[in-house]
Amino acid sequence: MGFWEAILLGIIQNLTKFLPISSSGHLALFTAILDNDQLSAENILFTILVHAATAIATMIVFRNDIVAILSGIFKKDQPETRVFVGYVVVSMIPAVVIGLFFEAQITALFNNTNLALVGAMLCLTAALLFFTDKASSKEQPITYKIALLIGIAQTIAILPGISRSGATIAVALLIGVNRPEAARFSFLMVIPLILGSMSKSILDQGAATAITFDLLPMSLGFLAALASGVLACTWMIAFVKRSKLRYFAIYCLVVGITASVVAWI
């Protein structure tokens, strides 16, 4: 992987991870367009680094929340902090179950790029974002039931073309969670999953792949992903608060229709 390719992929992957336009869908599209399956599987190390950049970018943006959560877990006068951590744990259950018992099926899904499926899922993401943007902001607090529903949405977003941030924020908003809290929970809930996924990848194959590839372009890709991730996360919070998700809906619809048409040509 060259310098510019690593930088470009780092930017694209983290922009599409935070913005509701589906990173998995875009990766599948680029793989199909370039006719190069190596973009998705060539480099496990690069995937690990991009995931690390995603987690660190989220921690930077939500550093005050994370410090407050970590410092309040063991304080008797802050039971709401432990409850919030419980919500995050519950939201992880669907993804953990799918990851443990259906890993082979998920891997096969991404190894066989299906443009028609990606296009359809992008159109579904567009519809979800459009209707969510019209939802009125309420003050429904997050509960264990709501956390589980958001976690199910996160799991469905494993499908290439379904945006994780879009799906989780949309479900929260449609249930009645206010916009700032929906965005906050959506991004904080994914940090443990990213760290867990990274750890599993490192234990399984990370050491072997680290020897194979040049670390300089990987480092540049990581830095590009980190910078674009911080910007995209900050932008996304602002877009959610201002009800601007319809612009992403239009983008997803255009790309989804284009992918579907190309798939049938």
pLDDT digits (tens, 9 = 90+) for 30-45: 766 665 554 444 466 7
Which parts of the chain fold into alpha helices (H)? 3-18, 23-34, 38-41, 44-61, 63-72, 79-101, 103-111, 115-133, 144-156, 164-175, 179-188, 190-201, 207-212, 215-241, 245-264
Question: Considering the chain, what is the average pLDDT of its residues?
Answer: 85
pLDDT value at 214 more than 80: no
Q: With a cut of 90, say whether residue 216 has pLDDT above it.
A: no
Q: Which domain covers residue 199, as residue numbers?
A: 3-264
Q: Are 218 and 118 in contact (CB under 8 A)?
A: no
More confident of the two residues 18 and 49 = 18
| pTM summary value | 0.88
Q: Can you state the angle between helices 63-72 and 44-61, rounded to 10 degrees?
A: 80
Q: What is the tally of structural domains in the chain?
A: 1
Band the pLDDT of 111: cuts 50, 70, 90.
Answer: low
